[in-house]
Amino acid sequence: MAQERYFSETLFPELEPLSIEVRPERSGTFADNLSLPVHRWFRYPAGFSALWVRQLLQRERDRGRRRVLDPFCGTGTVPLEAEYAGPEAVGLEAHPFLVRVAEAKLHWREEASLLRRAASDLVALARRLPPIAEEPSELLLRCYRPETLQRLRQLLRAWQEQVSAWPATLSALLWLALAAILRPCASVGTAQWQYVLPSKTKAQVADPFEAFLSRVELMADDMSCWQRQARDGKGRILRGDARTCEGVPAGWAELVITSPPYANDYDYADATRLELCFFGEIERWRDLQPAVRRHLIRSCTQHVSALVQETDQLLANPLLAPLQPELQATCARLEEERLLHDGRKAYHTMIAAYFLDMARSWQALRRVTAVGGLVCPVIGDSAPYGIHVPVEEWLGRLALANGFHSWRFEPLRARNVKWQNRKHRVLLQEGLLWIEG
Ligand SMILES: C[S@@+](CC[C@H](N)C(=O)[O-])C[C@H]1O[C@@H](n2cnc3c(N)ncnc32)[C@H](O)[C@@H]1O
């Protein structure tokens, strides 16, 4: 696909030029955001490209679409870009930790010098604190050297002691700086996309006090930069569920830019297990279900392990009628295939629950999207046990069944092309599902 060079002169004549390209094949990835002010504060590999969002917001703003919704907003890429580019946006997110990250990023208008001063006071206090005596969770013991963990916990204790002395904006920003250094300070592999890898050790480990101060420095620089450049847009984060879109008025959204979970067994709750353990939100793996997973779209097998006996009931739900009989046939094949594999993953239940949840999301989206609105989800298909599930087509059909007018899929990149990572040989794709209504 041809690459489109993006300079901010073309989009925002009054802003300083950016020399970063919008590369369509990277629209669905976080790669661009790693070098973009504010977006880079917390590395969230499930996020999509802020530059691509910026370009789309600009195009649609010029066509008169100024109220934007992201019902699966993750770490807030769309609401943040709306603040930068001018329109008004609401982001819904159901994962409590990610809601907190996204909300903190929206405080970029805070005074940078105040953040620097509060951070240096916090580190001074942390250095003075006596060692924290309570026994940490086993995961933390496996991920950190003892002296590193001690310092991280001193930072957290200092934050807790000071939190009521700062304005809420500052304490949220300082909390985010701490959350963002947890993985760089770990002595084991903690790539977010692959969860936590305590069996892989790292040669270089950052010191928590230094890492914290340098993260705050980066944030303060980015705040000053955006305060010079950004327009006066308005972004808001709501902790909420895309299956109801509660809190969003009927017909409010003129544009929806989003990326729902893919039906690919990725566990968004487990992906943040380290952070949740550190901040005391969970103690062990089994706490993930009540603390996080139950709020989310059912896109991983761990989420549906208690529902296997109810698969037929899920499939019989009238909201799934537009996909029958193909959905039933695919789930039956997955159920048979399951018996041939160790682990016996309940993909058949996961796929049934996933499409039911997504059908509910389309119903809710129809309610909150204005007539004539445009909906653009970034979406990828999947092939559990090598059985292809045409996610884009089925989501398109569900959108029509719920009152939208048309759908069209624009492929952006092939997935599953790295031979060594392949669990099956089905080629997968990621792209944009344009829905008009
Ligand atoms: C692909 S990620 C979106 C990332 C986002 N575009 C960004 O740039 O950060 C999908 C998000 O949907 C969230 N999610 C899952 N189920 C949800 C639900 N029922 N309601 C709202 N958000 C949900 C997940 O927690 C995850 O952050």
Assign 156 to helix, strand or coil: helix
273 with 196: CB under 8 angstroms? yes
Is pLDDT larger for residue 7 or for residue 123?
Answer: 123
Secondary structure of the chain: what % helix, strand, coil (to 5)?
50, 15, 35
Q: What percent of the chain clears pLDDT 90, i.e. is strictly above it? A: 77
Cα(92)–Cα(88) distance, integer angstroms: 14
C-alpha 259 to ligand 1 mean position (Å): 7
Pairing of strands 369-380, 253-258: parallel
Q: Does the C-beta of 242 come closer than 6 Å to ligand 1?
A: yes
Determine which of 7-16, 191-200, 208-217, 397-406 has the lowest per-residue pLDDT on average: 7-16
Q: Looking at ligand 1, which atom is closest to the CA of residue 261?
A: 10
pLDDT, mean of residues 192-221: 86
5 pLDDT band (50/70/90 cuts)?
very low
Q: Verify whether ligand 1 is closer than 6 Å to residue 243 (CB atom).
A: yes
What per-residue confidence (pLDDT) applies to 22? 66
Residue from 207, 145, 150, 146 nearest 181 by CA: 207
What b-and-e string marks burial along 191-200, b requiring 16 or more CB atoms within 10 Å of the CB? Answer: ebeebbebee
The letter for the amino acid at 116 is R
Contact call for residues 36 and 54 (beta carbons, < 8 A): no
CB of 172 shorter than 6 A to ligand 1: no
The reported pLDDT for the residue numbered 4 is 30
Q: Check residue 21 and give its pLDDT.
A: 62
Average pLDDT over residues 15-37: 67
**Ligand 1: which of 93, 295, 303, 395 to mutate, judged by most atoms within 8 Å of the beta carbon?**
93
pLDDT in tens, 264-293: 999 999 999 999 999 999 999 999 999 999
Across 61-65, 357-361, 370-374, 411-415, least confident range:
411-415
What is the mean pLDDT of the segment spanning 308-333? 98
Q: What angle do CA 389, 392, 398 make, to 5 degrees?
A: 100
- E strand or H helix at 254, and its extent? strand 253-258
Regarding the beta carbon of 268 and ligand 1, being less than 6 Å apart is answered yes
Q: Can you tell me which residue has the tokens 């890898």?
A: 197
Q: Please list the alpha-helical segments (H only) found in 1-95.
A: 8-11, 50-62, 77-85
324-331: Cβ within 8 A, 24+ apart:
326/394, 327/351, 327/352, 327/355, 327/394, 330/387, 330/389
Token readout for 386 is 């090598």
Predicted confidence at residue 24, as pLDDT, reads: 67
Query: Helix, strand or coil for residue 371?
Result: strand
